Chain A
């Protein structure tokens, strides 16, 4: 089809109507997720298998196979959804393709083995809209991903894409757009939570020329991938947001700084930009409104610190990606010392929605201080990991239980870490007396309160900050009883010291020293004064670090010290790791419940476990390196993590108490199965 440039907003409308008419034929659509998560699970094979199956059944014409962006349910990939019914298949393998084509498309039946089963109720759920993971979400941004092929601008236009841009450019003044964004209460989704409208207004007012808009797609938090999902799955939405922003601020050039580790995002974005240019939606005289704007893609080398706005701009300029002081704001002197507005992918993606449906509609979603929805990357010890888009103010309970489906196994929730590596770790609920005591001492819990319950904490910018963590870019890591909080703090500090740019002393040397102290504590060599030192050092880092990487870096330590001081004390005073993960402080040992099943023998890297089949196994403490591999595989909870040195005693006791296994009980059979 030859492409003619759209030269007026009416052209766009006509194109949309024409496309809708063409497609309004009740065709079945097979939508396969082509996001990075599903790609890793092998969705490419599924696609080619589906293609072959359709060809075989001569259904190529009737059924449309669409490779879409990520809808967020990565735990269950590869995902296939059959529209218009919305039948949801999960963990689809290439071998299942024929089944889907034969049974569902030809026969109209559901393939039972592929449908989703709720981990809590064990019930099968057929339709996508009924799945609790999706049902509780409010998928304003991610919701579109299922329905469009990111490489097709037509898909986007059919869904109403570029409508907001046309409206903004033709029917609104720049001031009106800024006002609208201000009124909507949209806050930056990159971590800072600065009011987007306010930022735009100051950049608009700033005197320099030219001005730039920048999209920060340098998502560096480990485990967070919402920006990737948006750029991969719906790049046009981000482009549309940026054009509106550029028009409102008054600039003609924009940049997308995306990390090169996101090849698919880069590819889809490039395709989308080219398409938008071809259709006259980018470039000179957009939609005949006389507004010029073009976008360039700049690929970053993957340094975490380049997500910091000034470091990102330095990197864009071709310099070393290190931050500078922001005493003069980037809206006044940013990229090449020119006024620049930098927003996160998710922020840009929200803009078209606000323009389309109005600030009033948008500001109804969320809490007083935080409006709209937020995408979280839910990971860790939770059944349904993936991307979840929820309205601001939803409680942690809803995210963790209703959407996340609870903790796998019989483990207990312990903590949630939000805000990426420099976020904080929050205790979720506890009534344990010693923890309670320390929380009372810190003022987090009143003395008459029985337990701290953050499960009902409404998740928004202000509440998370108040609780000692932050929204960040939206990472959410769930931890269960097996996570040692000192170790968690150590992990994040280690990440940060590797990713610090090293420019200023408090960040470079502070993190180095902090890591040394945490290492010492985890090795059982900590001293009581270490806690004071950590707190003092944290304050200096917060006060004097050059950028927010250093300024927020002590958060993992401070928040764990706030909620889990007892664990630090256990490490320092008792030389004991309550969660049993600090290798230097634990002994792995086998108690008398061992059935002698041999399962633990194979993963042991040092062959420390010995024992005959159906006899008590024993761990040779001199060989054991405390890797925990046996602990992970034991199905009878027979591996015990005890205080260093106590392993021998447990085994002596186990030998005395051990009885050969009787006939398998029903429970054991189930467990083995």
Chain B
């Protein structure tokens, strides 16, 4: 791009051909006020607030709008001559005669020294800057908004003043409206807790603060570009050009020497436990949902509120939902007691709500855990020994105490209790992932009845599996908290490192081999091998043994109808010889 020499307020600078005064001025730090300008759209030049005076050497002078006046060689720009300031002031006063002094206009007025507009203030909040129309048109591509009428009756409207079918509810118009004239109304009238992770309609978010990798993700079902083919603003603003809309999922193959399985767990879905009313009563939420709401990045800004936006007066935290339950999971999820206590602590910090903990046994087994439990007790949390039995709507007479009624048996005082609360948090079980069995099959590792992977030995090989080179880390092996997970992961990593640092593995001398000349290719051995060490060679039409995988168990040797497989160092001749040796 050829460079062009221009002068702005006495600053000489070089600008690229085709740039507008506004951009050139910005580069030398000269701010020109704007109202209807937005960098990623064609300049509209309707507000005329960015008026500047253009001059040339020969004394020609003209007031132009900085946002769309292209620079040319020898252009002199003056951004604050009396003529320009007067024009800005007059135009803003004219605008204010119709508009409320919304913050953006008030700030401009203050900057321009307007204390009392000559024609007073109007009542409108729409300043007809057209940002919404243009964003919908040029960026979003939904074309759901337009200008209606003409002249003084100009207005922003949807076609025929009706709810537009072309609107994709992206919220861009409201986001870019400088005066707050356009607002998004939640049609359902409530915030859905399950969507709290997202901004109301943001299509591009970082899934959560601590996400790894910590990069934004595009939600294809909300992305404007995916809907209309327009927008692509994120790609335009990304300085590193990281956003590619046409990227597809890819499968990649790696050669590796060791595998660490850290597939984690899934949250137990309490919906089937009808007694707790999850999914039925909006203020019955799961622990993870509470955690999300409590995060500072949530739509509630970390405030603890009910679905109607009010702060709850009382909260019941129900332990062991799906854990230690004969009908669901018999095991203890190990983490719930402590996070439930943490919740109680957070709620007392943020609100003045009464808190009820309903537990079976308080399992505060770790280092410092018991002390934390004591602290919670000191904070005045009601800790009731007795599992929550059911959650029902509060009956008429106690309705003012809370909308929900938690029923339980307080086993310490042997009494049946009904506690009215505003919100119920269910401490749901950790459970094995639904697809854990796929992993188990792929890696040839064993899985218990509860779905957790089984280690090679509970005491002596807690991170190894029955398959060499495959190690376990974290909750996929069984419910555990973060310290335990980190410790186990460290151990698994060390095991893997051990293999890798050697660069080679020592193999057992004993393994099975197939004598090619005898193999008929019947494939019986293929399915029998518990270590998936035998595969069929389509070319030679025979089976072959992967000696690295073979554990020399001998199953195939015994099963081969042709006697083609022999276990090295355990051949028939050797066995017979041994027998003969013993007998001799």
Which residues of A pack against B, CB within 8 Å?
303, 305, 320, 322, 324-325, 327-328, 497-506, 508-513, 533, 536-537, 540, 543-546
Q: Collect the chain A residues with CB atoms within 8 Å of residue B128's CB.
A: 502-503, 508
Q: Is the CB–CB distance between B70 and A328 below 8 Å?
A: yes
Question: Which residues B70-116 have CB closer than 8 A to chain A?
Answer: 70, 83, 86-87, 90-91, 94-95, 97-98
Q: Is the CB–CB distance between A533 and B46 below 8 Å?
A: no
Q: Which residue of B lies closest to A517 (CB)?
A: B119
Q: Which residue of B lies closest to A496 (CB)?
A: B151
Distance in Å from the Cβ of B235 to the closest Cβ of chain A? 23
**Cα separation A406 to B560 with both chains bound (whole Å):** 126
Q: Is the CB–CB distance between B97 and A320 below 8 Å?
A: no
A328-B70, A505-B46, A544-B48 known; A510 vs B94 contact (CB < 8 Å): yes
Q: Is the CB–CB distance between B150 and A544 below 8 Å?
A: no
Pick the interface stretch among B61-69, B360-368, B380-388, B467-475: B61-69
Q: Is the CB–CB distance between A497 and B151 below 8 Å?
A: yes
Q: Which residue of B lies closest to A324 (CB)?
A: B45
Find the residue from B43, B87, B97 having the highest chain A CB count within 10 A: B87
A-B contact pairs, 28 of them (CB 8 A): A303-B150, A305-B150, A322-B147, A325-B43, A325-B69, A327-B69, A499-B151, A501-B154, A502-B152, A504-B46, A504-B47, A506-B87, A506-B90, A508-B151, A508-B152, A508-B154, A509-B91, A509-B95, A510-B94, A512-B98, A512-B152, A533-B118, A540-B86, A540-B87, A543-B51, A543-B63, A543-B87, A546-B45
Q: Is the CB–CB distance between B70 and A320 below 8 Å?
A: no
Interface size class of B (residues with CB under 8 A): 35 or more
Q: Collect the chain B residues with CB atoms within 8 Å of residue A505's CB.
A: 46-49, 91, 94-95
Q: Is the CB–CB distance between A499 and B150 below 8 Å?
A: yes
Q: Which residue of B lies closest to A529 (CB)?
A: B118
Q: Is the CB–CB distance between B151 and A502 below 8 Å?
A: yes
Find the residue from A325, A500, A545 having the highest chain B CB count within 10 A: A325
Q: Does B249 contact A (CB under 8 A)?
A: no
Q: Is the CB–CB distance between A506 and B94 below 8 Å?
A: yes
**Cα separation A497 to B83 with both chains bound (whole Å):** 24
Q: Is the CB–CB distance between B98 and A503 below 8 Å?
A: no
Q: Collect the chain B residues with CB atoms within 8 Å of residue A543's CB.
A: 51, 63, 83, 87
Q: Collect the chain A residues with CB atoms within 8 Å of residue B44's CB.
A: 503
Q: Is the CB–CB distance between A504 and B152 below 8 Å?
A: no
Q: A501-B154, A510-B90, A536-B90 known; 8 other A-B pairs, CB under 8 Å?
A: A303-B150, A325-B68, A327-B64, A499-B150, A505-B49, A506-B91, A508-B128, A510-B91
Find the residue from A325, A499, A509 having the highest chain B CB count within 10 A: A509
Q: Does B153 contact A (CB under 8 A)?
A: yes
Q: Is the CB–CB distance between A509 and B94 below 8 Å?
A: yes
Q: Is the CB–CB distance between B151 and A325 below 8 Å?
A: no
Distance in Å from the Cβ of A527 to the closest Cβ of chain B? 12
Q: Collect the chain B residues with CB atoms within 8 Å of residue A500's CB.
A: 150-152
Distance in Å from the Cβ of A614 to the closest Cβ of chain B? 52
Of the candidates B48, B97, B153, which one forms a contact with A546 in the assembled complex, judged by CB atoms under 8 Å apart? B48
**Cα separation A499 to B97 with both chains bound (whole Å):** 20
Q: Collect the chain A residues with CB atoms within 8 Å of residue B69's CB.
A: 325, 327
Find the residue from B44, B48, B149 having the highest chain A CB count within 10 A: B48
Q: Is the CB–CB distance between A325 and B45 below 8 Å?
A: yes
Q: Collect the chain B residues with CB atoms within 8 Å of residue A513's CB.
A: 94, 97, 119
Q: Collect the chain B residues with CB atoms within 8 Å of residue A499's CB.
A: 150-151
Q: Collect the chain A residues with CB atoms within 8 Å of residue B130's CB.
A: 503
Distance in Å from the Cβ of B363 to the closest Cβ of chain A? 69
Q: Is the CB–CB distance between B48 and A327 below 8 Å?
A: no
A320-B146, A325-B68, A508-B152 known; A544 vs B91 contact (CB < 8 Å): yes
**Cα separation A234 to B90 with both chains bound (whole Å):** 48
Distance in Å from the Cβ of A120 to the closest Cβ of chain B? 43
Q: Collect the chain A residues with CB atoms within 8 Å of residue B98's CB.
A: 509, 512
Q: Collect the chain B residues with CB atoms within 8 Å of residue A546's CB.
A: 45-46, 48, 65
**Cα separation A498 to B153 with both chains bound (whole Å):** 8
Distance in Å from the Cβ of B35 to the closest Cβ of chain A? 9
Q: Is the CB–CB distance between B65 and A325 below 8 Å?
A: yes
Of the candidates A325, A327, A497, which one forms a contact with B152 in the assembled complex, judged by CB atoms under 8 Å apart? A497
Question: Which residues B134-190 have CB closer than 8 A to chain A?
Answer: 146-147, 149-154
**Cα separation A322 to B148 with both chains bound (whole Å):** 12
**Cα separation A391 to B129 with both chains bound (whole Å):** 46
Q: How many A-B residue pairs have CB under 8 A?
A: 104
Q: Collect the chain B residues with CB atoms within 8 Å of residue A305's CB.
A: 150
Find the residue from A502, A504, A544, A546 having the highest chain B CB count within 10 A: A544
Q: Which residue of A lies closest to B149 (CB)?
A: A502
Q: Is the CB–CB distance between A511 and B68 below 8 Å?
A: no
Q: Collect the chain A residues with CB atoms within 8 Å of residue B65's CB.
A: 325, 544, 546
**Cα separation A268 to B48 with both chains bound (whole Å):** 43
Q: Is the CB–CB distance between B87 and A544 below 8 Å?
A: yes
**Cα separation A98 to B330 with both chains bound (whole Å):** 116
Q: Is the CB–CB distance between B45 and A502 below 8 Å?
A: no
**Cα separation A508 to B153 with both chains bound (whole Å):** 9
**Cα separation A501 to B87 with both chains bound (whole Å):** 20
**Cα separation A496 to B213 with both chains bound (whole Å):** 60
**Cα separation A500 to B147 with both chains bound (whole Å):** 13
Q: Which residue of A lies closest to B72 (CB)?
A: A327
**Cα separation A511 to B47 with both chains bound (whole Å):** 15
Distance in Å from the Cβ of A314 to the closest Cβ of chain B? 12
Q: Is the CB–CB distance between B154 and A540 below 8 Å?
A: no
**Cα separation A543 to B62 with both chains bound (whole Å):** 7
**Cα separation A303 to B150 with both chains bound (whole Å):** 9
**Cα separation A142 to B552 with both chains bound (whole Å):** 111
Q: Is the CB–CB distance between B68 and A327 below 8 Å?
A: yes
**Cα separation A504 to B152 with both chains bound (whole Å):** 11
Distance in Å from the Cβ of A607 to the closest Cβ of chain B? 37
Distance in Å from the Cβ of A382 to the closest Cβ of chain B? 31
Q: Is the CB–CB distance between A540 and B151 below 8 Å?
A: no
Distance in Å from the Cβ of A609 to the closest Cβ of chain B? 38
Q: Is the CB–CB distance between A502 and B153 below 8 Å?
A: yes
Distance in Å from the Cβ of A172 to the closest Cβ of chain B? 35
Which 9 A-B pairs give the minimum distances between C-beta atoms? A502-B154, A509-B94, A543-B63, A500-B151, A540-B90, A544-B48, A502-B151, A540-B87, A505-B91
Of the candidates B47, B70, B90, which one forms a contact with A537 in the assembled complex, judged by CB atoms under 8 Å apart? B90
Q: Collect the chain B residues with CB atoms within 8 Å of residue A511's CB.
A: 151-152
Q: Which residue of A lies closest to B90 (CB)?
A: A540
Distance in Å from the Cβ of B175 to the closest Cβ of chain A? 23
**Cα separation A87 to B425 with both chains bound (whole Å):** 103
**Cα separation A520 to B260 with both chains bound (whole Å):** 85
Find the residue from A322, A498, A504, A510 having the highest chain B CB count within 10 A: A504
Q: Is the CB–CB distance between A502 and B90 below 8 Å?
A: no
**Cα separation A325 to B87 with both chains bound (whole Å):** 18
Q: Collect the chain B residues with CB atoms within 8 Å of residue A536's CB.
A: 86, 90
**Cα separation A305 to B149 with both chains bound (whole Å):** 13
Question: Which residues B24-65 have CB closer than 8 A to chain A?
Answer: 43-49, 51, 63-65
**Cα separation A621 to B425 with both chains bound (whole Å):** 82
**Cα separation A324 to B119 with both chains bound (whole Å):** 28
Q: Collect the chain B residues with CB atoms within 8 Å of residue A322's CB.
A: 147
Q: Is the CB–CB distance between B45 and A504 below 8 Å?
A: yes
**Cα separation A512 to B97 with both chains bound (whole Å):** 10
Q: Collect the chain A residues with CB atoms within 8 Å of residue B149's CB.
A: 502
Q: Which residue of B lies closest to A509 (CB)?
A: B94
Q: Collect the chain B residues with CB atoms within 8 Å of residue A509's CB.
A: 91, 94-95, 97-98, 152
**Cα separation A503 to B154 with both chains bound (whole Å):** 8
Q: Collect the chain B residues with CB atoms within 8 Å of residue A540's CB.
A: 86-87, 90-91
Distance in Å from the Cβ of A550 to the closest Cβ of chain B? 10
**Cα separation A501 to B49 with both chains bound (whole Å):** 18
Of the candidates A501, A510, A512, A533, which one forms a contact with B150 in the assembled complex, judged by CB atoms under 8 Å apart? A501
Distance in Å from the Cβ of B339 to the closest Cβ of chain A? 57
Q: Which residue of B lies closest to A320 (CB)?
A: B147
Q: Collect the chain A residues with CB atoms within 8 Å of residue B46's CB.
A: 503-505, 546
Q: Collect the chain B residues with CB atoms within 8 Å of residue A545's CB.
A: 48
Q: Which residue of B lies closest to A499 (CB)?
A: B151
Contact indicator per residue, chain B 116-135, by CB within 8 Å of chain A (1) or not (0): 00110000000010100000
**Cα separation A500 to B95 with both chains bound (whole Å):** 16
